[in-house]
Amino acid sequence: MAEAPELERLLRGAEQAIPDGALAEQLAQGRPLRVKLGIDPSRPDLTLGHAVVLRKLRQFQDAGHTAVLIVGDFTGLIGDPSGQSETRQMLTPEEMETNARTYLEQAGRVVDVDRAEILRNSDWLGKLDMADVLRLTSSYTVARMLERDDFAIRYREGRPISVVEFLYPLLQGLDSVEVRSDVELGGSDQTFNLLVGREIQRAYGQDPQSVLTMPLLEGTDGARKMSKSLGNYIALTEEPDEMFGKLMRVPDELIGKYRSLLTDATEESSRGPAEAKRAMARAVVDAFHPEGAGKEAEAAFDRVHRDRELPADVEEFEIPAEVIQEGRVWLPRLLVATGFASSNAEARRLLEQGGVSLDGDALEDPGDELPVSELRGKVLQRGRRRFLRLA
């Protein structure tokens, strides 16, 4: 059997190891395991939610195993149906390629990409012919597919399920066949897909992989899975000041979870919640930036929020003529122009949530149209970290 310390380290923080005892038996073989992680580039930014499973992949790397990181530029065209209440809109190849190009640099903040196998599943899935697809689809039944919770609910409620969605877990399983995966990692919402991979490997004459799932990381709202589409995310590549400030918004009850899943820091029971959150935020920033960045980000945070000081160098922004109408500026349009919001709808939400201020005074009415003369020379602030001096 595997040595207890190695097994314990690799299982630490995991939600499930399936089948029970399988990973220990694999480690006992005394050979490097091929540990697979697939990430679909459905959006351009990886988040700290992705970092949870990337860190687990790095732990396997550091234990001498082979990290196999698959950029799902083919499966991502379909879109993972996990947790979806309706059929997802398929991305275009151009959108997928744009997102995929950024993933290697981002994943490299966690995984040692020089020692990893970095692959794109379009290299093999894109070459399948109809005979290949028929062989694959004959490896799994519709009845088994409908055991999946999200499919079962949609079927019961009469909501559409595209046949292409059934293909997604089968294609993900074929990835495991292609790379001869020994262990596959994923979030707990991926359990069904990862177990399908075991069946596909069996059907193709391979020993089935073991499965290790990691807990899903709630976003800064403390309620829902971290997601860019929900606006509760922290991007893996965010600057230290931005990352620290967002981490300080995490609810107290999640401090321990963020610390254990994103850092190697240990809990200090003598700390109260306020200091524990600061310690967690420093440790997380240091985990994804050069050491010491967390302390510097904390100092910048205090200058702005505790000491009520503005950052040393607030960038100047000239209000564009096209957002000025009859000498007045509609606030949502200004936020989009500054880049503080990606759309008028997002800008309205920010204002309603009290996330925007002018010279320290909250702007909360999305219908406000302010005279341009009252805006110029003042500092527009989004959240706790983004500032522009209007001109």
Label each residue of the chain as H, E or C.
Answer: CCCHHHHHHHHCCCCEEECCCHHHHHHCCCCCCEEEEEECCCCCCCEHHHHHHHHHHHHHHHCCCEEEEEECCCHHHHCCCCCCCCCCCCCCHHHHHHHHHHHHHHHCCCCCHHHCEEEECHHHHCCCCHHHHHHHHCCCCHHHHCCCHHHHHHHHCCCCCCHHHHHHHHHHHHHHHHHCCCEEEEEHHHHHHHHHHHHHHHHCCCCCCEEEEECCCECCCCCCECCHHHCCCCECCCCHHHHHHHHCCCCHHHHHHHHHHHCCCCCCCCCCHHHHHHHHHHHHHHHHCCCCHHHHHHHHHHHHHCCCCCCCCCCEECCCHHHEECCEEEHHHHHHHHCCCCCHHHHHHHHHCCCEEECCEECCCCCCEEEHHHHCCCEEEECCCEEEEEC
Judged against a pLDDT cut of 90, whether residue 123 lies above it is answered with: yes
Give mean pLDDT, residues 268-289. 88
Interior angle at CA 43, CA 14 and CA 46, nearest 5: 40
Are 113 and 242 contained in the same domain?
no
Are 145 and 44 contained in the same domain?
yes
Are 12 and 101 contained in the same domain?
yes
Question: 226 lies in a domain?
Answer: no
Judged against a pLDDT cut of 70, whether residue 88 lies above it is answered with: no
Last residue of a domain, one of 180, 214, 248: 214
Chain segment 1-41, per-residue pLDDT in tens: 456 788 999 999 999 999 999 999 999 999 999 999 998 87
More confident residue, 121 or 242: 121
Confidence of residue 258 (pLDDT cuts 50, 70, 90): very high
Expressed as residue numbers, the domain containing 336 is 316-390
Judged against a pLDDT cut of 90, whether residue 209 lies above it is answered with: yes
What pLDDT is recorded for position 1? 47
Model pTM score: 0.76
More confident residue, 383 or 107: 107
Question: 229 lies in a domain?
Answer: no
Both ends of the chain: CA-CA distance in Å? 68
Flag the least confident range among 134-143, 205-214, 288-297, 300-309: 300-309
| CATH of residue 341 | 3.10.290.10
Confidence of residue 85 (pLDDT cuts 50, 70, 90): very low
Are 175 and 242 contained in the same domain?
no
Are 299 and 343 contained in the same domain?
no
Confidence of residue 117 (pLDDT cuts 50, 70, 90): very high
Are 126 and 265 contained in the same domain?
no
Give mean pLDDT, residues 179-183. 98
Give mean pLDDT, residues 93-102. 77
Question: 222 lies in a domain?
Answer: no
What pLDDT is recorded for position 379? 82
Question: 223 lies in a domain?
Answer: no
Judged against a pLDDT cut of 70, whether residue 337 lies above it is answered with: yes
Are 14 and 130 contained in the same domain?
yes
Residue 187 token pair: 């979030």
Residue 129 backbone phi and psi in degrees, to 5: -105, 180
Residue 317 backbone phi and psi in degrees, to 5: -130, 120
Give mean pLDDT, residues 265-283. 85
Judged against a pLDDT cut of 50, whether residue 256 lies above it is answered with: yes
Residue with tokens 């107290």: 252
What pLDDT is recorded for position 242? 85
Are 246 and 103 contained in the same domain?
no
Flag the least confident range among 91-100, 132-141, 270-279: 91-100
Question: 245 lies in a domain?
Answer: yes
Distance in angstroms (rounded) separating the CA atoms of residues 171 and 164: 10
Q: What percent of the chain has pLDDT over 70?
A: 92
Distance in angstroms (rounded) separating the CA atoms of residues 27 and 21: 10
Question: 225 lies in a domain?
Answer: no
- Count the domains in the chain: 3
Question: 311 lies in a domain?
Answer: no
| CATH of residue 123 | 3.40.50.620
More confident residue, 374 or 211: 211
- Name the residue type at position 126: G
Judged against a pLDDT cut of 70, whether residue 124 lies above it is answered with: yes
Are 286 and 320 contained in the same domain?
no
Question: 231 lies in a domain?
Answer: no
Strand-strand pairing, 16-18 and 34-39: unpaired
Give mean pLDDT, residues 204-213. 97
Are 65 and 189 contained in the same domain?
yes
Last residue of a domain, one of 277, 305, 333: 305
Are 354 and 298 contained in the same domain?
no
What pLDDT is recorded for position 50? 93
Judged against a pLDDT cut of 90, whether residue 121 lies above it is answered with: yes
Judged against a pLDDT cut of 50, whether residue 47 lies above it is answered with: yes
Residue with tokens 């009850």: 253
More confident residue, 56 or 306: 56
Are 162 and 293 contained in the same domain?
no
